[in-house]
Copies of this chain bind each other. A is one copy, B any other.
Amino acid sequence: MVTNVGMLGYGTVGAGVAWIMFGQGELLSQKVGHPLRLVKAVVRDLAAKRDNPPPLGFLTDDPLEVVGNPDIQVVVEVMGGIEPARSLILRALESGQHVVTANKALLATHGRELFDTAAAHGRELNFEAAAAGAIPVIRTLKEGLAANRIRSVFGILNGTTNYILDLMTKDRTHSVPYEAHLKAAQDLGYAEADPTMDVDGTDAAQKLVLLTALAYGTLPTVDDVRPEGITRLEPLDFVFADELGYVIKLLAMANLPKEGGRLEVRLKPTMIPKEHLLAGVPGAMNAVMIRGHAAGDIFLSGAGAGMRPTASAVVGDIIDTAKVGATGHPSAQPSLGWHGIKAEGILPPGESRTRHFLRFTVRDLPGVLSAISGILGRHGISIAQVIQRGSGPEGAPVTLVMLTHTAKEKDVEEALVEASRLDALTAGTRRVTVEDFGDK
């Protein structure tokens, strides 16, 4: 027997897959136990100039040379986008081919349809590269932690934003605005020319949707996650985070402390303790922490993107798929809801309970502190710590920072609306979620 692999797309990731499979064909075949060959890739434009030119005859512009071709057992989708990727994957599964995809946007929006189709036809649909690049998080959730009830899954799922936040944390002048750091990241190739999907949180939210689906069987939408990006953070937020013992990360979290309760999913800039392993995740790295009832906390980190790391995960999936295909016993395991844990729907975002960092800009007048803390108190929010910074003539604007005890997000939001009516506030108030990971 032999496993022939056909690819949809030959961009950066596709070229990386070819680099690994052409470079190590012999060894990979040994691991699979039979010949494993990458035979064909479909591209839109055969004439396009390519940085990594493939062997003659390897490319085609006809998807049907791969999809539905009975000589090809595994279809690898690395073209991206929703259509025609969705239709081609459905057709491949329906015609009995196994599929490996790195397409998080597609799975996050049409995952249910695709996984149901795979299950109906007893085919594999593997997607390790879609969740966190080279980090084996899907595998760990499905296999390594198979014995566990998953309490929560959280981490850093976007390299571009982690790179920028790292720059802003390390900028000891505390004066360089977000836009300048973004520009630096773009110049160094850590951010795209159009970085919207990264900096507004969409990319990380799509990955969080996939991890949530796998851990809890619930496929939330990106809207359920209500992603909040990093564009509104200011240097001053990093100054006070540091002073309070925190680091700001774009934290993705799915959390179900009690089975039968509601599932919390969120993606937003979050202050986390400096000594936490996640705080030390540098540059464009990604990281995921999984809390299991037996294993405790398992932390995984590595490159979340890039040609070779992503291709490494895709080829890992190809090898697994070829091995399972060879037994003639498809795993027939649901890809979603793997852990059989039931959640009673999604927790509305305002119901999340965490500590909060509040940064007010107020006129330095008698009674301001009392007015603000009075409003917070009436909303049931108690204050753990206060810092007042800046001094000048009475009435000049100063910064007032408060760290609350655990409080419901919507209570805090309501209190801030009420506080915004105070004459003493001279600018909008910043709120950043604080996560201590204590009883998660």
Contacts and interface: CB of A to CB of B under 8 A. Distances in A.
A235 interface: no
Interface stretch (A176-184, A207-215, A275-283, A371-379): A275-283
A172 interface: no
Contacts of A27: 339-340
A339 B318 CA distance: 16
A327 interface: yes
A147 B302 contact: no
Contacts of A292: 134, 312
A147 B319 contact: yes
A398 to B, nearest CB: 34
A273 to B, nearest CB: 11
Interface residues of A, number: 63
Given A139-B140, A327-B327, A316 B128 contact: no
Interface string A40-51: 000000000000
A387 interface: no
How many chain copies?
2
A337 B226 CA distance: 46
Of listed A24, A294, A297, A306, residue having the most chain B CB within 10 A: A294
A294 B320 contact: no
Given A302-B295, A302-B298, A136 B144 contact: yes
Given A31-B146, A143-B320, A145-B316, 13 more contacts: A31-B338, A33-B333, A134-B294, A136-B136, A139-B140, A139-B143, A144-B313, A146-B316, A147-B315, A277-B280, A277-B281, A295-B309, A296-B303
